[in-house]
Amino acid sequence: MPIRTSRSVGVLAEIALSVVVLAAVTGCASRSAPADSDTDRLTGRAQLVAAAWDGSAAAAAWRAGYYPRGEAVQLPKGGPHSEADKLAFKERKFVLRGELPVDEPRNGQVVWTGGGSLARPLEGAVRSYERLADTHVDGRPHLTVTGAKPGRMMVITSRGSATVPAWLFSLDGYTTPLKRAAVLPSELPTSPIKAARDIPGHPLDRLVKITDHGRSVTVVALHGVCDDEAEVDVLETHGSVVLSAAVKGHGSGSTCTKQASLQQVKVELERPVGNRVLLDARTGRPVPYKGLDGISPP
C-alpha cells in the first residue's frame, strides 16, 4: 500500500493555551528550522507507525469499539443564561441540592447513525456527577443541580455519530437538562508498535476537534517558548492518519526560560478522517480526545 506524506500543515492559534514550567533559565541557540536528519527520522517513524497499524488486530479492535471524538457533556438548549453561568459551566462549578438516583445501571446500547450497535458498561448518576462537577465553589459563580434522570444524547465517535445512554441533570433556572454520557469508552487496544524515545520533540497533547466534513483536525502540540511555533506533519494511508509534531524553528536570544507552551494546530487532510485511526507518531497510539473546556456548546 502506497504511503503519502503531506506537509501542507498550517498553524491556527498563535496564542498559547497554557504554559508549563519545565526547568530554570538556560541559553537558547538560534536556528531557523529542524535539522533535515530530524525531519527524516520523523517521516521514517510515521511510516513505521502506519505500517504497524494498517491491517492490524489493534486497528480492527479500534473500529469495533466505542471511542468518543466529541464532548461527553452538552449544555442545556440555548446555552448559559448569563456570563456568571457561562463561567460556572466552564469551571465545572456545581452544587447538588437534590437527590440523585442510586441504582447502578449495568449496560447500555451505543447505536451508530450509520448502522451497528455495541453494549457498553454504564456509570451511575452519582459517579457521573462526581466526574462532572468541581464542588469546591468557594464563593465563585455556580449552578445548582436539583436531580437527574436517565436519557440519551448524541456523541461523535471514531465510527461516526452515535446515540448513547446519558444522565440528564436538571439545573435550577433551566428548563432543559445538562447531558452527560453515561456509557464508558472501550479500552484502547494495545499498540502494535512501541513508543519512540530517540526522535526529537514531544507527543501530541490531545485532539480538540474534527470538522464536520472530516477534512481537517485540530490538535494541541507542545513547543518551547524559544521556538517560533509548533507544526504538525501528516502521513495518510488507507487505514490511518499519523501526526508528527515538531517545532518550526528557534528564535534568537542569549537566554530564555526553559518552558513549554501548548498551541492549537490545525491539520488539513487530503480526504476525510472517516473511520481511520488518528495516531501520534511518537507514542504509536491513538491521539487522545480531551477537548478544551470539557463542555460543548448547545
How does pLDDT run across 102-159, given as a tens digit for each residue? 988 889 999 999 999 999 999 999 999 999 998 888 888 999 999 999 999 999 999 9
Q: What is the pLDDT of residue 222?
A: 80
Q: Is 237 within 8 Å of 1 (Cβ atoms)?
A: yes
Residue 146 lies in a domain: yes
Q: 174 and 199: one domain?
A: no
Q: What is the pLDDT of residue 230?
A: 80
Q: 126 and 220: one domain?
A: no
| Residue 49 phi, psi (nearest 5) | -65, -45
* Terminal-residue alpha carbon distance, the chain: 42
pLDDT band, residue 20 (cuts 50/70/90)? very low
Q: What percent of the chain has pLDDT over 90?
A: 62
Residue 294 lies in a domain: no
Q: What is the pLDDT of residue 29?
A: 33
**pTM of the entire structure?**
0.80
SS3 (DSSP) at 38: helix
Single-letter residue type at 92? R
Asked if pLDDT for residue 44 goes beyond 80, the answer is yes
From residue 227, give the alpha-carbon distance in Å to each of 20, 126, 197, 246: 14, 45, 21, 10
Instruction: Provide the residue range defining the domain that includes 57.
Output: 4-64+189-280
Residue 295 lies in a domain: no
Q: What is the pLDDT of residue 284?
A: 97
Beta-carbon count within 10 A of 13 CB: 16
Last residue of a domain, one of 181, 215, 230: 181
Q: 119 and 34: one domain?
A: no
Q: Locate cell 479492535: which residue?
A: 61
Q: 167 and 208: one domain?
A: no
Residue 261 lies in a domain: yes
Q: What is the pLDDT of residue 103?
A: 87
Last residue of a domain, one of 164, 181, 198: 181
How remote is the C-alpha of 292 from its chain's centroid?
A: 8
Q: 33 and 105: one domain?
A: no
Residue 124 lies in a domain: yes
Q: What is the pLDDT of residue 106?
A: 87
- Got the DSSP string for 57-87? HHHHHHHHS--B-S-SEEPPTT--SSHHHHH
Q: Locate cell 473500529: which residue?
A: 63
Buried b (16+ CB within 10 A) or exposed e, 209-245: bbeeeeebbbbbbbbbbbbebbbbbbbbbebbbbbbb
Helices (H), 96-243: 125-132
Total domain count, the chain: 2
The residue ranking higher by pLDDT, 63 or 139, is 63
Summarize pLDDT for 184-196 with one digit per residue, the tens. 999 999 999 999 9
Q: 55 and 82: one domain?
A: no
Q: 227 and 81: one domain?
A: no
Residue 193 lies in a domain: yes
d(CA 267, CA 232): 7
d(CA 285, CA 298): 31
Residue 120 lies in a domain: yes
Residues near 246 by beta carbon (within 8 Å), at least 6 away in sequence: 34, 38, 39, 42, 200, 201, 230, 231, 232, 233
Q: 200 and 272: one domain?
A: yes
- Looking at every residue in the chain, the average pLDDT score rounds to 83
